[in-house]
Structures are given as structure tokens and as C-alpha cells.
A and B are shown apart, each in its own frame.
Chain A
Amino acid sequence: EAAVTQSPRNKVAVTGGKVTLSCNQTNNHNNMYWYRQDTGHGLRLIHYSYGAGSTEKGDIPDGYKASRPSQENFSLILELATPSQTSVYFCASGDGGAGGNTLYFGEGSRLIVV
């Protein structure tokens, strides 16, 4: 089974503070994604990457930055955290096969911004 590991699993941050969510995958997948999941909105794509050194904006990128320093690691950065960014964040890797990706998700990072 593909392995995607997120850290931290839980985080409480103060408004205006910087938060970094980290993701590591051992699947050797080129594609990696950051989603947030909120009641009433489902999973929404924030940033994604096609490989080391690349980052692309997803559907809701405002207030977030991403970094892909290596094939295995993909980080989501909140430079100035706001309460509206309180959410559960999921990282995923994808095999990029025909017909789109099968996504393998990490277990999620619960962020509360107070």
C-alpha cells in the first residue's frame, strides 16, 4: 500500500503566525496535492505539484504557498494564518496514470487557528 505521511497531525496556531504542514510520500509518485476539507465544501484543491521544484495553484490558493524540494516531500505554508484557515488538510500523491490519478491520501492534519 502506498504511504503518505503528514505532520503535524494536530496543530493550534495563533492568528498572524506562520504554519508549515509537511508531507512525505514513499510511492515515488510524481504528482502531489494539498486539499482542505470543510463541512459543506468537500475537498478543495489548494496547490499541487508535478515533480520536484514545481508547484501549481489549485482552486483556492489564496493565503497559501507550497514547496516541493524533492520527489518525496511537499509542504504547505501559511505565512499569516487566519481563523478562516481552520480546517483539516489532506496531502495526497498520485500515480499520474491514464484517466487521471489514483490518489493516495495521508491521514490528515487538523489545524485550528485562534
Chain B
Amino acid sequence: QQKVQQSPESLIVPEGGMASLNCTSSDRNVDYFWWYRQHSGKSPKMLMSIFSNGEKEEGRFTVHLNKASLHTSLHIRDSQPSDSALYLCAAVTNSAGNKLTFGIGTRVLVRP
């Protein structure tokens, strides 16, 4: 079983709409979460990271973290066709050598 679970598997959002993605770790030793974005045929690129409980906003992207439930979510407001991509959540456990463990990802399609 994946240590990092993402939902939904896929998501269709109208242009200008809100996309909400979820990620949960089953490893209670997780210290940090990262979000990466991967456009089709390209390599993953870091989007946002969150280390503390609460919320972090960067432009149209907002990340929430609840460390007690080991749950993070990514929200994309005013979605654009260029946001269509695979969104990967990754968890980091310092005691495991700072390795990133990735989830399977959520595929987002923004329809014009």
C-alpha cells in the first residue's frame, strides 16, 4: 500500500473554477509535505512546500496542512488550461534521511 495516498485520482475543472486535491500520509513520522507539478511528457517541478500547521498561499495556489491527521490539501483557484497536469504530493521523514516519498498523483484537466 502506498504510504502517501492522493485523491481524487483525476479531476476535471472548468476554466476559472477551483480545484481541490488531497494527500494523506500513513507514516506518523512524516515531518514535511511537498507538492510537485508534472505537465504531460515533462519532468516534475516543485510547486509548493508546507512544514507547519495552517495555510500557505502563493498566487492562485493555497496549501493546507493538518499535521495531527497527516493531511495536506492543495487548492487552485481561477484554474487555467495551463494548470492541466499531474499533481504529485510527497512526504519527507527526517529520520529516513530526508527522502521524498511520492504519491501516485492527481491528474487535473482544466476545460476551457
CA distance A90 to B34 in the complex (A): 18
Known: A99-B49, A100-B34. A42 touches B92 (CB 8 A): no
Chain A minimum-CB-distance residue to B91: A100
CA distance A30 to B105 in the complex (A): 27
B104 to chain A, nearest CB (A): 4
CA distance A31 to B105 in the complex (A): 24
Known: A42-B2, A42-B88, A42-B105. A103 touches B42 (CB 8 A): no
Interface centre among A33, A58, A103 (most CB of B within 10 A): A103
- The residue that B43 contacts in the complex, of A42, A100, A101, A107, with Cβ under 8 A, is A107
In B72-112, which residues have CB < 8 Å from any A CB? 88, 92, 94, 97-105
**A interface vs B, CB < 8 Å?**
31, 33, 35, 40-45, 48, 50, 56, 58-59, 90, 94, 96, 99-103, 105-108
